[in-house]
Amino acid sequence: PVWNSCVEFYRIERAGQLVGQFYLDPQARKGKRGGAWMDDVRTRWLRPDNQQLQTPVAHLVCNFAAGVDGKPALLTHDDVITLFHETGHGLHHMLTQVNERDVSGIAGVEWDAVELPSQFMENFCWEWDVLKHMTAHVDTGEALPRALYDKMIAAKNFQSGMQTLRQIEFALFDMLLHTEHDPAADFMALLNQVRSEVAVLPSPAYNRMANTFSHIFAGGYAAGYYSYKWAEVLSADAYAAFEETVLPDGSPNPETGRKYRQSILEAGGSRPAMESFKAFRGREPQIDALLRHQGMSQAA
């Protein structure tokens, strides 16, 4: 049973065996909470009382615009990224092979690694070979033109270096504020110190960003704002493994996908995330792929 007619229910099977299930609730409607998220309904767990395996169930919730006047619902590129992102969280939860529910799926995964599978999936939304096969003009049916795709990439990477420095400024201020700052001291002096180290453009005196930095006071990211950028490093480097092992015909290497599934998705929170990453990549994360994906180079 589903709670609305637009909700769909899916099963994931491998060789005829149930692996996981999920609800997809994609459309906005009156009374529905805004935003997009994945949450667990049920976690994989081997029950100790009867040794029965409980398979995971998730719900993927979005708020895409419904079709009007008999016309089909259309997704923007940002909508597609959102769908892929939440699907990444869902796969992390549903493909786990861990039987202890406290570390099964997304449970127990460190805060700064939980976005790895979700941001990893976003990379596919910027691949030409992917977009040309999953896009169609609503009237003509023609795929996304290559020229428009090139403009999208250029827009994505516009001032990416400045955006990176801005995120580093936020992350460094947050970490120093929670580890080295004297509460009786002027926090603006600390912020200005950070800006002097990383900012390219000077900030005006009236810019008191810290007064409204809700992420680190009311949003759960205290001493953890860095995890946004760190997750980008992890996901870009993981995706680079697929770029490096592409088959001669241009298709992804199934062996790389299997290794990613087993090393990252199936392991859940059963071991430190760094161990899972190194099991997949054979080394610690590097920033090269992120710089390349954002139109920068390490030399820059």
Please write the tens of the pLDDT for every residue from 22-50: 999 999 999 999 999 999 999 999 999 99
Pairing of strands 53-54, 37-42: unpaired
Partners of 25 in the beta sheet?
61
Please write the tens of the pLDDT for every residue from 152-178: 999 999 999 999 999 999 999 999 999
Estimate to the nearest angstrom the gap between the alpha carbon of 9 and the chain centroid: 22
Closest CA to 197 of 164, 225, 226, 165: 165
The amino acid that residue 253 corresponds to is N
pTM: 0.92
157 within 8 A of 295, measured Cβ to Cβ: yes
Q: Could you tell me which residues come within 8 angstroms of residue 7 by beta carbon, excluding any fewer than 6 positions away?
A: 23, 24, 25
Please write the tens of the pLDDT for every residue from 46-74: 999 999 999 999 999 999 999 888 889 99
What structural domains and CATH numbers belong to the chain?
Answer: 1-78+92-99 (3.40.390.10), 160-218 (no CATH)
Please write the tens of the pLDDT for every residue from 195-207: 999 999 999 989 9
Q: Could you tell me which residues come within 8 angstroms of residue 228 by beta carbon, excluding any fewer than 6 positions away?
A: 115, 167, 171
Q: Could you tell me which residues come within 8 angstroms of residue 40 by beta carbon, excluding any fewer than 6 positions away?
A: 56, 57, 58, 93, 105, 106, 107
pLDDT score at 39: 96
105 within 8 A of 93, measured Cβ to Cβ: yes
Residues with active-site annotation = 86
Q: Is the pLDDT of residue 84 over 70?
A: yes
178 within 8 A of 232, measured Cβ to Cβ: no
Please write the tens of the pLDDT for every residue from 119-142: 999 999 999 999 999 999 999 999
DSSP 48-86: TTT-PEEPPEEEEEEEEPPP-TTPPP---HHHHHHHHHH
d(Cα 267, Cα 125) in Å, to the nearest integer?
A: 25
235 within 8 A of 122, measured Cβ to Cβ: yes
pLDDT score at 298: 52
Neighbours of 97 (CB within 10 A): 15
d(Cα 200, Cα 287) in Å, to the nearest integer?
A: 21
Token output for 212: 């409204």
Q: Is the pLDDT of residue 299 over 60?
A: no
* 286 — pLDDT class (breaks 50, 70, 90): very high
